[in-house]
Amino acid sequence: MSIWNELSGIDYRHAYVDTGDFKTRALQAGPEDGEHVVFLHGTTGHLEAFVRNIPAHAERYRCHSIDMLGHGYTGKPDRPAEIPLYVEHLMAYLDAVGAERAHLVGESLGGWVGSWAASEHPDRVASLQLLCMGGTKINPAIMERLKTSTSDAALKDDIAFTRERLRLLWAHWDEDLGEELTQIRYDIYHHPDFQRNLHNLLALQEPEARERNLLRPDRMGRIKAPTLVVWGNKNPLGDVPEAEAIAAAIPGARLEVFNECGHWPQHEKADLYNPLSLEFLAASSAT
């Protein structure tokens, strides 16, 4: 199994979209007149995080899995990447593809960005899915672990560090796609522009920056979009009570916890996540 096999049954486009000062890399698929669903990855991630989800969703929805600002092969501004900047870029992407509203699916950092966008631009967010979302806590041990593991993976030549960075996200190693995703991530991490920009991508792992970007209950309480919180019971970056607190803070949010699952529920448990997401999207579209 490979990423090409995962995508072999659909018509898709690997695109570079003009989003102002920077080009945005995107995987686009699905009917052009369908409702837009935008998939947002985690810290130092890339659009391939959703390769197991695009085919199922593209049967009905116009899907966009993007490299967020500064990430992957998208343009890289020379300044710290904080949440309002990511949201500004997301809105520029929606404008560029003609999406007045979109369903947002955000994993980890992507959920943080999606939640902020939903609280600031409620008219642009049709629904919200938060997959092991970050941004509600300051945990120095986890922040240091992310900084160290990512810096080692990006700045050392040994691909084993990249593999370990990916392993950090999963409860169990993915024998089918693990090595292919490792190579994709290694190539991204070792691009000179990515290495030069790394300190900006890790800005939110610094306590002062994280403090001013925290998703506090009052902000989450302003979210009006239908919201689904998905969590892995073995998420190494946040325990289940964190998910319960997120769901409690967002009015009407629904929480689903997957067993034997780490930080990538959309990938590790795609057989559970895809039908759950499609059911949620259909219900959200009807409201």
The DSSP secondary structure of 243-269, one letter per residue, reads HHHHHHHSTT-EEEEETT--S-HHHHT
Q: What percent of the chain has pLDDT over 90?
A: 96
Under 8 Å CB-to-CB from 138, ≥6 apart: which residues?
207, 210, 211, 214
Residue 168 pLDDT > 90, yes or no? yes
Question: Hey, what are 109's tokens?
Answer: 């950092």
- Identify the band that residue 215 occupies on the pLDDT scale cut at 50, 70 and 90: very high
Query: How far is residue 150's CA from residue 161's CA, in Å, rounded to a whole number?
Result: 8
* Residue-level pLDDT at 14: 96
Strand 254-258: give its sheet, edge to edge.
12-19, 22-29, 62-66, 36-40, 102-107, 125-131, 227-232, 254-258
User: Could you tell me which residue, 229 or 22, shows the higher pLDDT?
Assistant: 229
Question: Hey, what are 261's tokens?
Answer: 């699952």
- Identify the band that residue 48 occupies on the pLDDT scale cut at 50, 70 and 90: very high
Give the tens place of pLDDT for each residue, 98-111.
999 999 999 999 99
What is the mean pLDDT of the segment spanning 86-90? 98
Q: Is the pTM of this model over 0.95?
A: yes
Residue 285 pLDDT > 90, yes or no? no
Give the tens place of pLDDT for each residue, 113-122.
999 999 999 9
* Residue-level pLDDT at 266: 98
* Residue-level pLDDT at 1: 75
* Residue-level pLDDT at 287: 66
What is the residue extent of each domain of the chain? Answer: 3-285
Query: How far is residue 111's CA from residue 128's CA, in Å, rounded to a whole number?
Result: 8
Cβ neighbours of 286 (radius 10 Å): 7
User: Would you call 279 exposed, middle or buried from its count of C-beta atoms within 10 A (0-12, 13-18, 19+)?
Assistant: exposed
Query: How far is residue 245's CA from residue 200's CA, in Å, rounded to a whole number?
Result: 29
- Which element (helix H / strand E) includes 56? helix 54-58
**C-alpha closest to that of 198 among 76, 66, 42:** 76
What is the mean pLDDT of the segment spanning 176-199? 96
Query: How far is residue 107's CA from residue 239's CA, in Å, rounded to a whole number?
Result: 15
Residue 233 pLDDT > 90, yes or no? yes
CATH 3.40.50.1820 fits 3-285, yes or no: yes
What is the mean pLDDT of the segment spanning 234-252? 97
Under 8 Å CB-to-CB from 170, ≥6 apart: which residues?
262, 263, 264, 267, 268
Question: Hey, what are 98's tokens?
Answer: 């003609």
Residue 7 pLDDT > 70, yes or no? yes
Where are the strands (E) in 30-112, listed by range? 36-40, 62-66, 102-107
Cα 203–chain centre separation: 17
Residue 203 pLDDT > 70, yes or no? yes
- Identify the band that residue 238 occupies on the pLDDT scale cut at 50, 70 and 90: very high
| Mean residue pLDDT across the chain | 96
Residue 286 pLDDT > 80, yes or no? no
69 φ/ψ angles, rounded to the nearest 5 degrees: -50, 130
DSSP secondary structure letter of residue 15: E
Question: Hey, what are 128's tokens?
Answer: 């919200």
Residue 165 pLDDT > 70, yes or no? yes
Q: Say if CB 267 and CB 45 are below 8 A apart.
A: no
The DSSP secondary structure of 170-231, one letter per residue, reads -SS--TTTHHHHHHHHHHHHTSHHHHHHHHHHTGGGSHHHHHHH---HHHHTT--S-EEEEE
What is the mean pLDDT of the segment spanning 181-209? 96
Q: Is the dihedral of CA 271, 275, 281, 283 positive or negative?
A: negative
* Residue-level pLDDT at 142: 93
